[in-house]
Structure 1
Amino acid sequence: MVSDGRAGIQNQALGLAEAVARLTPADIAVKHVRWRPLFDRWPSGLKTPAMLAPGSFNPRDVTDWPDLWIATGRASLPLSARVRDWSGGRTFTVQTQDPRWNNDAYDLIVAPAHDSLSGDNVFEIIGSPHRITPQRLAEAAPAFAARTAPLPHPRVAVMIGGRSKAFDLTPAHAALLADRIKAAVQASGGSLLLTFSRRTPGAAQAVMTERLSALPGWIWDGTGDNPLFAMLDAADHVLVTEDSANMATEAAATGKPVHVLPMIALKPAGKFARLHADLRAHGAARPFDGMLEGWTYAPLNETERAARAVLEAMRTL
């Protein structure tokens, strides 16, 4: 699988590759694509392997092309679009997300339904592919059991995003969210398991940490191994900010109630509104109303559904 190496991007391709490997024997090779700074922002159609950064995966080094190429993100597009030619048609090419460029160049595009992408080679899923499965969560739990096992129920996992083109998280809004989360956890007699994303502004993170640190639980400060999977395994409820398709989809894969926290909108909700509508229709998510109401639903398993579509398309090509 191929990506630029950023966790949120890589996990889409890697999660889909792992799902394929659960369905059929497969070896997974992780490759990172990076472009020299001078060429990084060039249009995909103008980039060539000679422009790749030192240490990047380079297709010129490939002597035995794989059966399947799964890639995610803008950095991978100039390579993905040429894999058919380079491999002599041997390699089946899958691109996740909406490439927004040369969409006919890929054998299959696994696209979020909320992007409203259409085409004969498009397979739509709710949200994004990811690595979360019940088995993976259970496997992650023992390493952090000393922190999570003593905590009182209900345990509330909170996934906080941050600034993007569509949303913002100011210190004032962070304080508001923290107060609402604190009130809900205190009223339930439960505990808190909180993680921040790389996009969470430092000031917002500081405000939320200060206001929530007195609660029973664990606010991960970013040091050491990432405990997200263990937190999701231990949680009875999951609260997630509305700015991230990845986080919402991962939360819905747990089968636990997903409460969506509002952010400051910088433009019309658009695709995020469509995503959250899909999650509500599945029974997974509801807007956070300050209460920790429980409900049940079948865990969202779109990554495996996409993996089955990949294998079926490979058989019929």
Structure 2
Amino acid sequence: MEVGSQKPLSIRVVSDGRIGMENQALGLAEALQRLSPSEITIRRVKWRKAFDKLPSALKASWMLDPAGDDPFPAAGEPWPDVWIATGRATLPLSLMAKRRSGGKTFVVQTQDPRWRTGDYDLVVAPRHDGIAGANVLSITGSPHRVTPARVAEGAAAFAYRLEALSRPRVAVLIGGKSRAHDLPEAHAAELADRIATAIGDVGGSLMLTFSRRTPEAAKAAITARLSGLPGLIWDGTGANPYFAFLHYADQVLVTEDSANMAAEAASTGKPVQVLPMVATKPADKFGRLHADLRERGAARAFDGSLASWAYEPLAETDRAAREVLRRMGRV
């Protein structure tokens, strides 16, 4: 049956509300909506403090904090056609949804659940997580919300500031401290000097944004060394220029601590170079992701130059959405 001849899908997105987590599930839901008429609802859940650390196998829905959303339909309401969830907090809820709906709801979990992996209808996991199974779809990176249309839309508000910048325009996406990486001040200063030299050598311009995890000392060191370049360093106030940076960039430099930013940048088809950070523990997953991006022709390690190359933009979120529809028998 043609997708267009079927009734619209009802899709429920469930997460703990953290933006990076929610955007994975929401990005996949939006990709489904682009392929098949759909209505998306979002639920942000949290567990009562006393129960939050319990293993997923011991959690029950009455342990949910009423300050969060109720992820399940109210009495008399229909179950959604698709349930897309991400993160540890949602794991037991996803399996409850599958059971309580009587199998009517197609349950998708993003990321590696590390718990009862085979019990979800589909697990959409980054290839660098290294899991496999009949119900597992491995993709490069994680699902996300970056699309050509959204990037172009986000660029409009910044056109007056970015369109006239000298080319190549270099988007620099700086992360920060995490479980496996750090960005101490001295390393940040050295990195900034290398970036400044690379941009200066080609007469380009800078579009830089920090993350919430960027240490203040690192932020100050980078800003001090790069503020003399033509361009824009976003200070975190006002509208977020992230999509605009991706739109106007000729090159993207991204620190190695963020799998999301690297995969999102690779969806643009722009050359992506990975900036080194200080490792605080083995980061095999990040190494596997960057190897995956290199194999796809999308990314290289930053070597101090701004060489350009072409590759087919990654469209992994769309591929995952097509797989959901295929498994549901809607294509």
* Matched letter for residue 15 of structure 1: G
Distance 2:238 2:50 in 1: 34
What secondary structure does 2:329 align onto?
Answer: helix
CA RMSD of aligned residues (A): 1.3
Match of 1:56 among 43, 46, 68: 68
For 2:205, the aligned partner's letter is: S
User: Aligned to 2:107, what secondary structure does the other structure show?
Assistant: strand
TM (norm. structure 2) is 0.93
Aligned twin of 1:191: 205
Residue 117 in structure 1 maps to residue 131 in structure 2: yes
Q: Give 1:17 shift.
A: 0.6
Is structure 2 residue 307 aligned with structure 1 residue 310? no
Query: Structure 1 stretch 56-65 or stretch 29-38: which is displaced more?
Result: 56-65
How far has the Cα of 1:269 moved from its partner? Answer: 3.2
Shift of 1:150: 2.2
Q: What is the CA-CA distance between 1:254 and the residue it aligns to?
A: 0.6
Contact 2:171–2:251 (CA<8 Å) still a contact in 1?
yes
Instruction: Decide which moves more: 223-232 or 54-63.
Output: 54-63
Q: 1:2 touches 1:71 (CA, 8 Å); kept in 2?
A: yes
Match of 1:10 in 2: 22
- Match 1:296 to one of 310, 317, 322: 310
- For structure 1, the residue ranges without an aligned partner over 5 or more in a row are none
- Take 2:213 and 2:78, find their aligned partners in 1: how far apart are those partners? 38
**SS of residue matched to 1:315:** coil
For residue 27 of structure 1, give the secondary structure of its aligned residue in structure 2.
Answer: strand
* CA deviation profile, 1:37-60 (whole Å, cap 9, x unmatched): 222222112222222223312145
Q: In the alignment, which residue of structure 2 is the partner of 1:94?
A: 108
Q: Secondary structure at the match of 1:30?
A: strand
- Asked if the contact 1:192–1:218 (Cα under 8 Å) also holds between the matched residues in 2, the reply is yes
Which of 259, 266, 272 is the equivalent residue of 2:286?
272
Select the residue among 260, 268, 274 that pairs with 1:254.
268
> Which residue of structure 2 lines up, in the alignment, with residue 20 of structure 1?
32
Which is further off, 144-153 or 16-25? 144-153
SS at 1:53 equivalent: coil
Q: 1:157 aligns with which of 166, 171, 180?
A: 171
Cα offset for 1:99? 0.7
Q: Contact 2:268–2:313 (CA<8 Å) still a contact in 1?
A: yes
Matches within 5 A, 1:31-70: 31-62=43-74, 63-70=77-84
Question: Does the 8 A contact of 1:240 with 1:248 survive in 2?
Answer: yes
Following superposition, the deviation at residue 75 of structure 1 comes to 1.4
Match of 1:74 among 88, 96, 118: 88
How far the C-alpha of 1:268 sits from its partner, in A, is 2.6
Amino acid aligned to 1:7: I
Instruction: Give the total of aligned pairs.
Output: 316
Q: Distance in 2 between matches of 1:224 and 1:4?
A: 25
Which stretch of structure 1 is more off in the superposition, 192-201 or 295-304?
A: 192-201
Q: Give percent identity, aligned residues only.
A: 64
Q: Deviation string for 1:128-158 (max 9, x for gaps)?
A: 1111111111111111112211211111001
The residue type paired with residue 77 of structure 1 is L
- State whether residues 88 and 113 of structure 2, in contact with CA within 8 Å, keep that contact through their aligned partners in structure 1: yes
For the Cα contact (< 8 Å) 1:36–1:53, is it kept in 2? yes
Q: Match of 1:28, SS?
A: strand
